[in-house]
């Protein structure tokens, strides 16, 4: 029986693509570099802001990444001001979270998004009482797919890995859940899609939040 659910954020709970595309392209614009497409940005996100900007710079002609520190400084400023730009929860997510809380499940978010912005997005979209723990990328903790953070969060929620469900939309999330030896669900409505999740070896793939609740109830 599950005691806790830990969620990825971008592409899982919330559609944040507009905020990521906007902030990335405003950064490139300020650096006088060519902008990237929405589809490129979709593929670049998931491994943290630095990897995202490294890929964006590479696609914009700055392959040697000699301007990465400049890019990170600019992106940090722009994204901090725009991290909730056009951000909305995916259909059925709010109802699923409410149902989970009514069943007594402890809820948490673990994102590779910078910690300050991860907390701001979650609390702005879902309020301050929905999740028992919210964590973004922190310098002192390895980022996903390293299992350190997700295991620490499960412990804070009073659950063993076997009692914890990890839910995400990318190959990074599949690897995170596997590395933590948690039951892992891949969602198809996010940034990667079913084929990527299958290739990553997802244990279970769902097309709607209702399927997650049905699984928990069963």
Span 162-189, pLDDT tens digits:
999 999 999 999 999 999 999 999 999 9
- The average confidence (pLDDT) of the chain is 96
Contacts of 58 (CB under 8 A, 6+ apart): 65
On the question of pLDDT at 192 being above 90, the answer is: yes
What would the DSSP string read from start to end of 118-154? HHHHHHHHH-SSS-SEEEEE-TTSPPTTSSHHHHHHH
pLDDT at 63: 72
pLDDT at 65: 84
The yes/no answer on whether domain 4-15+87-217 falls in CATH 3.40.50.1000 is yes
For 78, 96, 155, the CA distances from 193, given in Å and listed in that order, are 28, 20, 30
Fold of 17-82: DNA polymerase; domain 1 (1.10.150)
Stretch(es) of the chain classified as CATH 1.10.150.240: 17-82
For range 92-117, the mean pLDDT? 97
Phi-psi label, residue 11: left if phi above 0, alpha if psi -120 to 50, beta otherwise: left
Q: Which of 144, 181, 148, 149 is nearest to 164 (CA)?
A: 181
For range 45-67, the mean pLDDT? 90
On the question of pLDDT at 106 being above 80, the answer is: yes
Contact 167, 7 (CB under 8 A): yes
For range 38-49, the mean pLDDT? 94
pLDDT at 61: 83
**Which pTM was predicted?**
0.93
Name the band, by pLDDT with cuts 50, 70 and 90, for residue 198.
Answer: very high
Q: Which of 115, 35, 39 is nearest to 83 (CA)?
A: 115
Q: Which of 157, 215, 149, 214 is nearest to 184 (CA)?
A: 215
Q: Peptide bond preceding 145: is omega within 30 degrees of 0, i.e. cis?
A: yes
pLDDT at 100: 97
pLDDT at 64: 76
Stretch(es) of the chain classified as CATH 3.40.50.1000: 4-15+87-217
Q: pLDDT for 126-166, tens place per residue?
A: 999 999 999 999 999 999 999 999 999 999 999 999 999 99
pLDDT at 62: 77
């Amino acid at each position: 029986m599950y005691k806790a659910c830990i969620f990825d954020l971008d592409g899982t709970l919330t559609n944040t693509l507009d905020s990521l595309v906007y902030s990335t392209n405003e950064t490139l614009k300020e650096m006088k570099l060519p902008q990237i497409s929405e589809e490129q940005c979709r593929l670049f996100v998931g491994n943290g802001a630095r990897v995202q900007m490294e890929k964006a710079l590479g696609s914009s002609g700055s392959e040697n990444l000699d301007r990465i520190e400049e890019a990170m400084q600019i992106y940090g400023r722009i994204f901090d001001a725009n991290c909730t730009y056009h951000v909305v929860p995916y259909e059925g997510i709010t109802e699923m979270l409410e149902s989970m809380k009514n069943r007594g499940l402890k809820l948490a978010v673990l994102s590779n998004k910078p910690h300050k912005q991860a907390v701001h997005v979650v609390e702005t979209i879902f309020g301050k009482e929905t999740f028992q723990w919210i964590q973004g990328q922190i310098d002192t903790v390895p980022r996903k797919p390293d299992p350190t953070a997700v295991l620490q969060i499960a412990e804070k929620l009073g659950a063993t890995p076997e009692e914890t469900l990890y839910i995400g939309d990318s190959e990074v999330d599949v690897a995170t859940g596997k590395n933590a030896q948690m039951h892992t669900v891949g969602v198809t409505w996010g940034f990667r899609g079913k084929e990527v999740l299958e290739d990553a070896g997802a244990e279970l793939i769902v097309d709607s939040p209702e399927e997650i609740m049905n699984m928990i109830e069963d």
